[in-house]
Homo-oligomer: A and B are copies of this chain.
Amino acid sequence: VFRIQDVAKHAGTSVGSVSKVINGVEGVSDKMRDKVLKAIAELDYHPNVYARNMRAKSSKTIGVFVPLINDPYFPQFYNGIETKLEQLGYMPILFSGSSKTSSERPLDLLSQMMNRNLDGLIVSTYGWDNEFIEKLARIAEKMPVVSYKRKFTDSPLLSVGVNDYEGMYSAVSYLARIGHKHIAYINATAQLETSQDRLRGYKQALADNDIPFRESYITECASYSIREGYLNTRHVLRNSPLPTAIIGGNDTLAIGALKYLEELQIRVPQDIAVMGYDEIYLSQLVTPQLSTVALPVEQMTAKAVELIVSADPASESVQRDLTFGTELVVRRSTDLTSPFSLN
């Protein structure tokens, strides 16, 4: 494997010039540049990543941190980031909480990152504890850190997210509009601001449609997972009158509900309509296909990347929290007449 020296020798010049060519630094004659590029091509030379990063200020690498790679939202999220990074000549490095939810691990990982002089960090951290968030905040003083779909007031963390209030409001309004008066809600991790926003949207939509709010139409889950949605749906079915629609705080909860109803042989949407929120890929694979609210994941991830890459440590004027709009997606789980489709 070749070193920059080899290239220099091959091109009949010095390492300094080769380095300049590689990094697109000004001050090299065209002739020189051509010679060097030719040598690089001939030797199939690629700079050693480690040597380079040790010296350079930027590693052209940003960290991507997720609690769990299994979550269905992950592929879209990661792909979005990767695609954008690639356009900019950067590369992601993935850190994941992995299988073990051991609480030490995330902190460990954070230390790991510190020493890779990353140019920044994009973090998706549904429901992590304060210790973690604080450590993150300390890191954010040294490099740009963008939180995905969760914002922190009074924190150095940047964020990209959606208007969860409006998103859920539009979903529930839609259900009301098609005639539902008894709409149950499956909530999870109630302490998160984003969960609260959605719940507020739900309540306000009820109010604006003259539907009385009933506490017993809400059930709480420990986490946003299919299993939790599945297990908790029975609570809202104890009501009388029975809800005619169930909306999940996200798609996985709604899919859990769908599975539970399926087991009871309750027809969706004829007996009970079901709706989700998040638009994960899975939502079009379940039966019936799930109505939901789509988030502009690609825009959000692209923006997250931009926030980092273009982060100017000096400027305080940057907008720290970016919020995007959502879009209603109607499918068969609320509307029998909508067509089947597959992306």
Which of the residues B93, B117, B142, B226 comes within 8 Å of A285, measured between beta carbons? B226
CB contact list, A10-66 vs B, under 8 A: 44, 46-51, 53-54, 59
CB contact list, A194-231 vs B, under 8 A: 226-227, 230
- Check A78 against B82 for contact (C-beta < 8 Å): no
Whether A150 is near chain B, meaning CB under 8 Å from some CB there, is no
Which of the residues B48, B75, B98, B230 comes within 8 Å of A86, measured between beta carbons? B98
CA distance A50 to B51 in the complex (A): 7
Which of the residues B1, B75, B285 comes within 8 Å of A114, measured between beta carbons? B1
- Check A340 against B255 for contact (C-beta < 8 Å): no
- Check B48 against A54 for contact (C-beta < 8 Å): yes
Q: A54-B50, A255-B285, A286-B285 are in contact. Are A98 and B115 (CB under 8 A)?
A: no
When distances are taken between beta carbons in the complex, the residues of chain B under 8 Å from A117 are 48, 50
Residue of B nearest to A99 (CB): B83
Which of the residues B53, B82, B255, B286 comes within 8 Å of A50, measured between beta carbons? B53
Whether A100 is near chain B, meaning CB under 8 Å from some CB there, is yes
CB contact list, A72-118 vs B, under 8 A: 74-75, 78-79, 82-83, 86, 91-94, 96, 98-100, 111-112, 114-117
Which of the residues B96, B255, B285, B286 comes within 8 Å of A82, measured between beta carbons? B96
CA distance A97 to B30 in the complex (A): 34
Whether A282 is near chain B, meaning CB under 8 Å from some CB there, is yes
Chain B proximity mask over A314-343: 1 for CB below 8 Å, otherwise 0: 000000000000000000000000001011
Whether A287 is near chain B, meaning CB under 8 Å from some CB there, is yes
When distances are taken between beta carbons in the complex, the residues of chain B under 8 Å from A54 are 48, 50-51, 54
When distances are taken between beta carbons in the complex, the residues of chain B under 8 Å from A342 are 226-227, 230, 259
Q: How far is the CB of A249 from chain B (nearest CB, A)?
A: 18
Q: How far is the CB of A317 from chain B (nearest CB, A)?
A: 27
Whether A70 is near chain B, meaning CB under 8 Å from some CB there, is yes
CB contact list, A170-215 vs B, under 8 A: none
When distances are taken between beta carbons in the complex, the residues of chain B under 8 Å from A70 are 75, 79, 281
When distances are taken between beta carbons in the complex, the residues of chain B under 8 Å from A69 are 75, 78-79, 82
Q: How far is the CB of A302 from chain B (nearest CB, A)?
A: 12
Residue of B nearest to A111 (CB): B46
- Check A79 against B94 for contact (C-beta < 8 Å): no
Whether A262 is near chain B, meaning CB under 8 Å from some CB there, is yes
The 20 listed contacts between A and B (C-beta, < 8 Å) are A46-B111, A46-B112, A47-B115, A49-B115, A50-B50, A50-B54, A50-B59, A69-B75, A70-B75, A70-B281, A74-B75, A79-B99, A82-B96, A91-B112, A226-B285, A227-B342, A259-B340, A263-B340, A282-B282, A287-B287
Given A50-B54, A82-B98, output 15 extra A-B contacts at Cβ < 8 Å. A1-B115, A46-B112, A46-B115, A47-B115, A48-B54, A49-B50, A50-B59, A50-B115, A69-B78, A69-B79, A70-B79, A83-B99, A83-B100, A92-B94, A255-B285
